């Protein structure tokens, strides 16, 4: 019989994986030949926050994959290693004119300056942002209209055109006191427009009243900026709602009827990385047949009260520290004081009060002795807990009444996860390992 505390260890890079099972006090390994797991697609991540979220998502997918693969009672315990393949991405450069794609041709929210003979689209967009509404004739998309203002845009000394978006735009922002947001449409220009496919390519977290929004167009290996005159018209161009909305250019998740409400939102939104939330499609199923738009609680074992807990409270004395000089200069972060432990109080609790311990206070002028005695006390609590938890671990001495046994024999659905009992999802008795008392009847996946 496979026990509940069995572990599955997996490595994403290895062709051979091992299941481990504790049987008769010994750790046994079971080898599975040719076991691979690969994420389905490559993704482009450009910040630490996005990398962290990507790893969390991949681990969650891997756990779901393990659950679908293993039909026995072996349980996935931990992920030991992730091997990530990194490909160097070609720098995105924006330059000369690209004809407006059919999908955006009738959109009145963008202005495409026709710089057919140069790669200065960034400059023409900045000038259009500044002077577009002052021009009275109908040549607002022609380079000739803005040439007389050309010298007003300060260019970086080492600039090369077409510009490198991630490296060069910050230089333009600093020199011209402007905030530049760059968006990109990740959908097909040949298919119906989907506003959820407009994402943020470049954005910094600085606030500036002088803000310009740009849309990056793509044509094979060529890229070009167009000025977003009205973000609301671009995002909602396929809807029948004509009322103007003020969209948040930081997250693209919220829009407001007034600029005041938008500014209130920006006070919080600007404190975070620019990112757009993309919700799962309704009724869409993943590769395992589960609905992506429905989140279900499944860690039923976390519902049970933990039998033991220890609370610690340290007190310390502040010791002044001298500022350190590095190359005759103070470091940016200087340690002014250091915490020296002088005492610690501990409280050991058990779900059965008679096994709990009174508060213990450790005092000593020697901080090392305080820490040593604290660790030794915790070790004593751990040994006590281990002894208690194994007292009635086996159901051989289970304390169960006749009525409880009959209820257990007749029940067909788990008390907690509500799943039906099957050959793989067997019925088991959930009991208190400390006093041997029957608690409930559960499916093995819920414990």
For residue range 428-441, list pLDDT tens digits in order.
Answer: 888 888 998 988 88
Q: Look at 34-43, 123-132, 362-371, 397-406 and tell me which has the smallest mean pLDDT.
A: 34-43
Q: What is the pTM of this model?
A: 0.49
Q: Structure tokens of 447?
A: 């414990």
Structure tokens, 225: 């900026």
Count of C-beta atoms within a 10 Å radius of residue 212: 23
For position 21, what pLDDT does the model report?
44
pLDDT tens figures, 96-125: 889 988 888 888 888 999 998 899 999 999
What's residue 32's pLDDT? 43
What per-residue confidence (pLDDT) applies to 26? 46
Tokens at 427, concatenated: 């019925």
245 pLDDT exceeds 90? no
Q: Which of 202-206, 274-278, 401-405 has the highest mean pLDDT?
A: 401-405
* Summary mean pLDDT of the chain: 78
Q: Are 310 and 333 in contact (CB under 8 A)?
A: no
- % of the chain beyond a pLDDT of 70: 73
Q: Is the per-residue pLDDT at 6 higher than 50?
A: no
Taken as a whole, the chain contains a residue count of: 447
What is the rounded average pLDDT of the residues 48-71?
67
Evaluate if residue 34 carries a pLDDT over 50.
no
Strand 163-164 to 246-247 pairing:
unpaired
| Highest mean predicted confidence (pLDDT) among 215-229, 249-263, 279-293, 390-404 | 215-229
The pLDDT value recorded for residue 312 is 96
pLDDT at 122: 92
The pLDDT score that the predictor gives to residue 382 is 94
Pairing of strands 222-228, 211-219: antiparallel
HSE, CB side, 13 Å, CA atoms: give it for residue 263. Answer: 5
pLDDT value of position 383: 95
State the pLDDT at residue 303. 81
pLDDT top residue among 135 and 379: 379
pLDDT for the residue 246: 76
Structural contact between residues 119 and 162, judged by C-beta atoms closer than 8 angstroms: yes
Q: Around Cβ 109, how many Cβ atoms within 10 Å?
A: 19
> 271 is written with which tokens?
């404190």
Average pLDDT over residues 3-20: 36
**pLDDT for position 140:** 87
Reading phi first (left if > 0) and then psi (alpha if -120 to 50, else beta), residue 289 is in left
Element (H, E) at 19: strand 17-23
Instruction: Give 20's strand partners.
Output: 7, 29
pLDDT value for 395: 73
Instruction: Identify the pLDDT of residue 332.
Output: 57
Q: Are 365 and 359 in contact (CB under 8 A)?
A: no
pLDDT of res. 13: 37
- Per-residue confidence (pLDDT) for residue 328, from 0 to 100: 55
* pLDDT of residue 304 exceeding 50: yes
pLDDT confidence of residue 377 = 96
The confidence score (pLDDT) of residue 323 equals 65
Residue 51 has pLDDT above 90, yes or no: no
In the predicted model, is pLDDT for residue 81 greater than 60? yes
């Amino acid at each position: 019989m496979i026990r509940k505390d069995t572990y599955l260890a997996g490595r994403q890079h290895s062709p051979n994986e091992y299941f481990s099972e504790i049987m008769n006090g010994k750790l046994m390994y079971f080898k599975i030949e040719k076991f691979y797991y690969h994420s389905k697609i490559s993704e482009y991540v450009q910040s630490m926050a996005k990398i962290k979220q990507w790893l969390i998502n991949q681990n969650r997918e891997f756990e779901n994959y393990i659950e679908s693969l293993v039909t026995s009672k072996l349980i996935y315990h931990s992920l030991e290693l992730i091997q990530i393949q990194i490909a160097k991405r070609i720098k995105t450069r924006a330059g000369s004119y690209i004809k407006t794609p059919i999908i955006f041709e009738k959109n009145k929210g963008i202005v495409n300056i026709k710089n057919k003979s140069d790669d200065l689209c960034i400059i023409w967009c900045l000038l259009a942002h500044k002077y577009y509404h002052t021009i009275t004739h109908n040549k607002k998309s022609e380079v000739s209209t803005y040439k007389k203002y050309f010298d007003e845009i300060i260019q970086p000394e080492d600039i090369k055109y077409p510009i490198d978006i991630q490296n060069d735009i910050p230089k333009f922002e600093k020199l011209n006191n402007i905030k530049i947001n760059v968006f990109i449409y990740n959908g097909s220009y040949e298919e119906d427009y989907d506003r959820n496919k407009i994402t943020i390519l470049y954005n910094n977290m600085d606030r500036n009243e002088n803000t310009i929004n740009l849309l990056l167009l793509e044509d094979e290996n060529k890229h070009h900026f167009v000025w977003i005159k009205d973000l609301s018209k671009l995002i909602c161009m396929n809807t029948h709602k004509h009322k103007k909305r003020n969209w948040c250019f930081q997250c693209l998740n919220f829009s407001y009827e007034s600029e005041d409400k938008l500014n209130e939102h920006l006070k919080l939104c600007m404190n975070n990385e620019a990112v757009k939330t993309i919700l799962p499609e309704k009724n869409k199923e993943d590769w395992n047949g589960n609905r992506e738009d429905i989140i279900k609680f499944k860690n039923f074992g976390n519902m049970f009260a933990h039998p033991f807990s220890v609370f610690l409270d340290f007190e310390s004395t502040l010791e002044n520290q001298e500022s350190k000089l590095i190359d005759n200069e103070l470091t940016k972060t200087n340690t002014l004081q250091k915490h020296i432990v002088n005492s610690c109080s501990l409280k050991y609790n058990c779900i059965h009060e008679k096994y709990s311990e009174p508060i213990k206070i450790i005092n000593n002028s020697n901080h090392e002795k305080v820490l040593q005695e604290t660790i030794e006390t915790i070790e004593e609590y751990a040994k006590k807990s281990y002894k208690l938890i194994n007292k009635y671990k086996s159901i051989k001495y289970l304390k169960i009444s006749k009525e409880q046994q009959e209820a257990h024999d007749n029940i067909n659905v788990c008390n907690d996860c509500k799943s039906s009992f099957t050959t793989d999802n067997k019925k088991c008795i959930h009991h208190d390992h400390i006093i041997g008392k029957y608690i409930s009847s559960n499916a093995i996946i819920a414990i």
